[in-house]
Amino acid sequence: MRILKSILVVALVVATLTSCSSVKNMAVPTMDTAVSMAAKKGTVSDEQFNHWAHADLATDTIPGMSVDKAYKFLEGKKGETVIVAVIDSGIDIEHEDLKDVLWTNPKEIADNNIDDDKNGYVDDIYGWNFLGGNGDAAPEQLEITRIVADLNSRFEGKTAADISAEEKADFDKYQEYLEAYKKSSSRHFQQMDRLEQIGTNFSAVKTFLGKEAVSIEDLQAVKTEDEELQAQIGDILGLMGRGLDEKAYLEYYDTQKKNKNYDFDFDGRAIVGDNPEDITDVKYGNPFVIGSKDDESHGTHVSGIILAKRNNGIGLNGVANNAKLMSVRAVPDGDERDKDVALAIRYAADNGAKVINMSFGKSYSPNREWVIDAIKYAESKDVLLVHAAGNSSENIDVSDNWPNDSFDKINEVSDNVLTVGAMSVNYNENLPATFTNYGQKNVDVFAPGVQIYSTVPKNEYAKYSGTSMASPEVAGVAALVRSYYPQLSASQVKHIIMNSGTELDMEVLVPGKKDEKIKFSKLSITGKVANAYNALVLADKMVNKR
């Protein structure tokens, strides 16, 4: 899979790089956890490890969400079907563990090129693709790149002496954005320089040996007085000794050449055909929600966590039963557009979704008012939105993380958004995932997000880590509560999940810091880990007044 292979190659060729420094929807590489080590020793089975997020702290000594216990509580009860929208990069809706839990638009006739239900989206049987294309979506810039590219036309090459009083405020912001762009892009450009160097070294060594491919044995046998060639051979030997071959290098180099995150001149909307700065221009996209294998890995993994078909004897059990998956593509290889996110939320709300998972985010949001208006619209439709806190090891009470349900990080404009941080299986100071964002005002709860086993394309399964994995764990709990207690509003379900979580008031390491500790309760509003069993018990008490 693209994400995991990329992580391996980056680690080999650029030691200074980390796999996920932004709040993008990326899986994060992690070391073996306590449970995986126990599994190797035979004290925890592979099956238990694959589903540690469903375990119960009291009975299993694993700090999961008590999902298995929740289903014992639900025995004999009947739930209603809940539509869950996953706004993501694309989903393999043909996956063996997802194909039986798909939402289909009951008012639309497939492949007749007619908007049968008059909702503005032709043939939207399984959802909608706001990214364009029939397979691969076009790559995209990061938002900071788009912002600086726009301002370059006014300020590039100018100094303060060239700026009028009327433009000074904009020029000062330009300097701030330009510095942020340079800081963000420097790692990428260093990586590209390194990749170019590796390619040059491979070419030189093959030319010297007169071979199309070289082995470690070939390189070790070389005798030369050429110091430059010696250095090139030493570099390639070191990389190959750590598992990198030329094929893997070329594959990764090819993907990075296509990376447009920091390309000022790239037009990511050419394939889409809309005006991304016009929220009223809504006639774009298509019904191809599945995407390519690479694009859909993340969305497929997220979806399986929420609602992979339960008890079918394959793969895994999703958190929720009685759930149907609506696929909405709006997250490219780059930063998502505010317009796409806003329209994706509205599409899901208008077509019956009661829970929306949003495992994505970014640090800049120039049209955030469109997204906040969409969040408020979803609230009017009684829709609960569950959002990943991000993977930058940052306090998002201070750092920006969009989308958000407030303009100022303090005053919420709606009461239908849950923001989720990621925790590991370690019931000790390492409980918070090292990569997770946190915030006592802007993260609501934590949930399992390290080495989470779920679906990936082509009927396969894999473990990913990230707040992208923690968010769908909570979305699954929300769908479960909404299924069995449909009387409860989105706001009520949000607060049930917050209030019923497992409180773990222990000292833990601050995410991203090796020696600084803090009470786990200080990392989020609740200081709790979402718990499916507790949420259902509290919901039952509220509905049945007992």
- Is 212 in the same domain as 283? no
The set of residues, in sequence order, having a beta carbon less than 8 Å from that of 244 and lying 6+ positions away, is 9, 12, 13
The Cα–Cα gap between 497 and 319 comes to: 14
| Tokens describing residue 433 | 């995932």
pLDDT, residue 3, reads 39
φ, ψ for residue 459, nearest 5 deg: 60, 35
Number of domains in the chain: 2
- Is 383 in the same domain as 523? yes
Amino acid at 526: T
The set of residues, in sequence order, having a beta carbon less than 8 Å from that of 280 and lying 6+ positions away, is none
Burial per residue of 26-49, b for 16 or more beta-carbon CB atoms within 10 angstroms, e otherwise: bbbbbeebbbbebbeeeebeeebb
500 is catalytic: no
- Choosing from 257, 282, 317, the residue where a domain stops is 257
pLDDT, residue 290, reads 86
Residue 293 lies in a domain: yes
Residue 283 lies in a domain: yes
**Residue-number span of the structural domain to which 179 is assigned:** 145-257
pLDDT, residue 383, reads 98
Catalytic residue among 19, 36, 51, 88: 88
- Choosing from 223, 257, 291, the residue where a domain stops is 257
- Is 46 in the same domain as 153? no
- Rounded to 5°, the CA angle 67-69-74 comes to 95
pLDDT, residue 293, reads 58
Residue 263 lies in a domain: no
CATH number at residue 20: 3.40.50.200
The Cα–Cα gap between 396 and 437 comes to: 7
Parallel/antiparallel/unpaired status of strands 460-464 and 452-456? antiparallel
Per-residue pLDDT of the chain (546 residues; tens, 9 = 90+): 333 334 444 445 544 333 333 344 455 544 444 444 444 444 557 777 899 999 999 999 899 999 999 999 999 999 999 999 999 999 999 999 999 999 999 999 999 999 999 999 999 999 999 998 766 667 899 999 999 999 999 999 999 999 999 999 999 999 999 999 999 999 999 999 999 999 999 999 999 999 999 999 999 999 999 999 999 999 999 999 888 889 889 988 988 888 999 999 999 898 898 999 999 999 999 999 986 656 689 999 999 999 999 999 999 999 999 999 999 999 998 999 999 999 999 999 999 999 999 999 999 999 999 999 999 999 999 999 999 999 999 999 999 999 999 998 899 999 999 999 999 999 999 999 999 999 999 999 999 999 999 999 999 999 999 999 999 999 999 999 999 999 999 999 999 999 999 999 899 999 999 889 999 999 999 999 999 999 999 999 999 986
468 is catalytic: yes
The Cα–Cα gap between 110 and 490 comes to: 31
pTM, whole model, 2 decimals?
0.90
β partners of residue 129:
286, 329
Please give the helix or strand (H or E) that residue 254 lies within, else none: helix 246-257
Catalytic residue among 66, 393, 468, 483: 468
Please give the helix or strand (H or E) that residue 127 lies within, else none: strand 127-129
The Cα–Cα gap between 422 and 34 comes to: 16
The set of residues, in sequence order, having a beta carbon less than 8 Å from that of 367 and lying 6+ positions away, is 277, 279, 338, 339, 342
pLDDT, residue 49, reads 82
Parallel/antiparallel/unpaired status of strands 507-509 and 517-519? antiparallel
